Each structure stands twice: as structure tokens, then as C-alpha cells.
Amino acid sequence: MKPRVGIFSFSSCEGCQLQILNMENELLDIVGAIDLVTFREAMDPVARDYDVAFVEGSITRESEIPMLEEIRRKADVLVALGACATIGGVNAMKNKFSPEENLQEVYGDAGSEYYDTIPTRGIDEVVDVDYYIHGCPIDRTDFAQTVTSLLLGKRPYTPNFPVCVECRLKENVCVYDRDDDEICLGPVIRAGCSAVCPSFGSACIGCRGYVDQANFDSLIKVMVEHGIDEEEAKKKLRMFNTGNAKAQEVEA
């Protein structure tokens, strides 16, 4: 019997779900191996029961909590999908301000009357999460490998080494050795994207979250040496990671 799979979204741009739809030929193989029962971006809901749930988006409203808890209750396996779900993502930048300030800034005087907002949380701050697919958006190969592992009864692999390792393997010139003055967060950010941004001339901006043994002090020192002041360096480190459990180390 094929596993029943549901794909859900909370507060997000739904770009990670779009990456799944962009898988083209691989998507046909995946859909053939599973019973896709819920995927709002691609189909009308057809079932309320599922074995595996992929959840995109962060939790930013009180009303989202019971919905996520219900998904967790039904799913044997729950996978956090993308930066918003895994670490809070850019949504968590609002946590630097009070809910009242956020509502006033976005909606004006009508904000407190029509909208509810709470500090942004990744979904593992609300329910137990079994596995993670990082990135903003997710890497399609990463998604395919996770699904394959689950189908084979194996634990999906999540790298715990920095993007710099993948840059070295691809023989990329280090961003800090180039002449474009870009600031790269690769030394403290989790690999698994094949260093896609540095490989195409940009810099890592931190969407996959921090590695467990991130050396923030060392990276901030390098960033300052390359012309950025310390507070601005910390802001860059927080862009995707304000909601990350390790974020307080950046503030120290």
C-alpha cells in the first residue's frame, strides 16, 4: 500500500511547494510511488487521513496552532519544509518588535481589530518534527532524496557541516577572496544546497540555518575585516535566523 501524503502550508510564500511542482519528470516518479491526498497548491483536498505530512510555513497566529496540532496528531511522520517551517525564516524578523507595533505598521488602526499575530515560531516549537528539509526555497534534489529515504524506510540525511565544504568540493573561489565586496554567511550555514548561490556568483545569505557548531565570533570578525560594522554583520546573520534557537549566540 502506498503511503498517503499530505502537503500543508501556514504563514509563507508557498515557494517551497512551487519547487515541488517544478520537479517535472521527477515529480511523476514521486507521485507514482505515493498516494498524494492533500496538496492545496496543486489539487483540491480529497482526504483527511494521511501517513506523512510535509508542512511549509511558520506559525504566526494563534489560530494556526490547533491546525498544526491536528496535522501532527494524524501524521505518522511530519517533515518541516523550508526555512519558515524549520527556523522561522524571514517571518521571524518581526519578533524584534512587539505584536502591537507590527499590526500598527502593517495595517494601521484596523490592525488590532481584524488581525491576530503572535511571535513567529518554526513548527518544531509547537509540535514534534521528525525530519527537516532546509532552504528558501527548498532544493528539489533534497526533497526527492528525503521522499526516497522515507519510501525505503531510511532516515533522511541532513548535513551538519557548512556551505564552505561544498564550495571547496566544487572548487569555487571563496566569496571573501573575490573583488565584489559581498558578505557570505557560508562558514556558519548548513550545507545541502550544493553551494548554489556562491557557485553562481552570489553569496550565501543563510536560508538553511546554522550548523550546530557555528563559530559566530570568527565570522563576524571576518565580516568586519571586509568593511561591515559589527551590528550590520549581526543583522545579516539574523535575516533568516531570528527564530533559530542559536540566534541568541549572535546577540552575545
- Residue 54 CA neighbour count, 13 Å, CB half: 26
**Are the beta carbons of 208 and 194 closer than 8 angstroms?**
no
Express each pLDDT in 225-238 by its tens digit.
999 899 999 999 99
The full set of domains in the chain, from first to last, is 4-151 (3.40.50.700), 163-251 (no CATH)
**Could you say which residues of the chain have pLDDT below 50?**
none
Closest CA to 205 of 140, 159, 136, 252: 136
pLDDT of residue 113: 74
pLDDT of residue 106: 86
Query: How high does pLDDT run on average in the chain?
Result: 91
Residue ranges of alpha helices (H) inside the chain are 15-21, 25-33, 64-74, 83-87, 99-107, 111-114, 140-151, 163-169, 196-199, 216-225, 230-238, 247-251
Neighbours of 213 (CB within 10 A): 10
